[in-house]
Amino acid sequence: MTPKVHLTPLSKLRVSRHQIPSYALLPNTSIQQKPLLIYHTAFSTNTSASAIEAHLASTGVVTPQWRYSMYTTTHFHSTTHEVLCISSGKALLCFGGEHNEGRVEPVVQKGDVVVVPAGVGHRLLEDREGGFEMVGSYPKGCNWDMCYGNEGEEDKVKGIGGLGWFERDPVYGDQGPALDV
């Protein structure tokens, strides 16, 4: 039996949108101009990781692939966008590179969702409560890679411009913040 998921209604959902300038060899949102999106408390805080995974799979947009924290080294993906659903704890994250004046450093917590466009550098700065965990998902059929903003990754970065965006919202389906960008 699929666990019941309670989503914040779209009319009450608070969403943060961030355009992050390129920095050093981190392209951030400069290639596709799709913003980093944070859905604040999209899932009720009593939603389990299993229920989040089942819900994401039911939208048919993304495939949940892992449960983990976030790497403490800045990295990005050149082959896919990423959907991170916070399933446990609270953490301070960094998007865009820790020395980038245009970086974003949100505190995220259980129930939040972060839609990370391909090319946006991200890392964990601080696990605020211990046990910080996310469900990591990617658009169906996409495989993620690891890039670090190093010399030699330029050809991978060029591929970001050809990636499609979401045709349906990964959390809400036919409507939702990912469609309003």
Please state the pTM of the whole predicted model: 0.97
Dihedral over Cα of 7, 10, 15, 20: its sign: positive
Distance separating alpha carbons of residues 87 and 150, to the nearest angstrom: 31
26-51 pLDDT, tens digit per residue, is 999 999 999 999 999 999 999 999 99
Judge contact between 160 and 78, C-beta under 8 A: yes
pLDDT digits (tens, 9 = 90+) for 112-163: 999 999 999 999 999 999 999 999 999 999 999 999 999 999 999 999 999 9
User: Which residue ranges form the domains of the chain, and what is each CATH number?
Assistant: 10-162 (2.60.120)
Cβ atoms of 96 and 28 within 8 Å: the answer is yes
Phi-psi region of 91 (alpha: psi -120 to 50; beta: other; left: phi over 0): beta
